Amino acid sequence: MGEGAPWPSGRLVLGMVHLQPLPGTPFHRGVGVEQILATAVESARALRDGGASGCLVQTVDRVYAPGEETDPARIAALSLIVRAVVEATGPGFEVGVQLMRTAARASLAVAKVAGGSFVRVSALVGATMTASGLVQADPLGVMEYRSKINAWDVKIIADVASMHYQWFGGGKDVGEVAQSARQAGADAVAVGAPDESETLDLIARVRAAAPHLPIILAGYTHHGNAAQLLAADAGADGAFVGTCLESEGWGSAIDVEKVKTYMQLIGDAP
């Protein structure tokens, strides 16, 4: 089962800090690391000041390898950015790392070295078909590496039914997938669908199969449905929140007033 440090109490609101393409990727052009870093720090501070629990620093490089491989320059740049975010937000603010598509080892390394508290893994168990090709999980390799660098204090959130992951081949209930992820070392799982009733059904099925496993909504919340999806009786423990908090739509800086309004709607205003 999961081995990471305990989650903070209350519902986790983890804002998405979407990065422009980083060095070592084909579409890194025109926006330097310094500007990407400054925008990430600005967004993370807005999330903190608006009352969010933390953020996920996520690479958005447009095209990806389907496996663990990733360019060293990309890892170096992300490490600088994550460290700057950690220093800018201070203790008690959860800072997560995700090198897309599924560079789990590199994400763990960045989090461990730069001071992040969790990683999000698109495919910890099984496999999922993506635009980048078939992404196949390597839970043994990930956990061996987690042990090698002593990153047991870095929590793992594993997608089990989301925009990033669907069990390849079908025939396996999301509750079973969540149990498999927990057995492989996940500290929480992420689920979500565009349809709100489907999201609530996913939560219920995971909760029935793994009653004590934290469930994070994998996107799709906004100011119009957050109160419903994060209500106490809905069963979710938190949410990754992206576009609805961004000032000018997807990929722009986080707007602190939008964060405050979101937190008020779910009853967790600072």
pLDDT digits (tens, 9 = 90+) for 167-195: 999 889 999 999 999 999 999 999 999 99
Q: Which two tokens stand for residue 130?
A: 């993506």
Q: Using CA of residue 115, residue 85, residue 107, residue 50, what is the dihedral sign?
A: positive
Can you say how many angstroms the Cα of residue 176 is from the centroid of all Cα atoms in its chain?
21
H or E stretch covering 105:
helix 104-114
Instruction: Check whether 2 has a pLDDT greater than 70.
Output: no
CA dihedral 100, 101, 106, 112 (to 10 degrees): 50
> Per residue in 71-108, pLDDT tens?
999 999 999 999 999 999 999 999 999 999 989 999 99
What's the average model confidence in pLDDT over 120-125? 97
Q: What percent of the chain has pLDDT over 90?
A: 89
Q: Is the dihedral of CA 174, 121, 101, 251 positive or negative?
A: positive
Supply the Cα-derived Rg of the chain in whole angstroms: 17
The structural domains of the chain, ordered by start, are 12-265 (3.20.20.70)
Model-wide pTM > 0.75: yes
What are the DSSP E strand ranges found in 82-234?
Answer: 94-98, 118-121, 127-130, 133-136, 155-161, 188-191, 215-218
Residue 264 clears pLDDT 60, i.e. is over it: yes
What percent of the chain clears pLDDT 70, i.e. is strictly above it?
97
Quick check: 211 pLDDT over 80? yes
Question: Taking 80 as the threshold, does the pLDDT of residue 251 lie above it?
Answer: no
From its phi and psi, is residue 130 left (phi > 0), alpha (psi between -120 and 50) or beta? beta
Q: In this predicted structure, what is the pLDDT of residue 1?
A: 41
- Mean pLDDT of all residues in 3-12: 73
pLDDT at position 231, please? 94
Q: How far apart, in Å, are the Cα atoms of 250 and each of 17, 18, 44? A: 10, 8, 15
**Residue 270, pLDDT score:** 55
Dump pLDDT digits (tens) for 128-155: 999 999 999 999 999 999 999 999 999 9
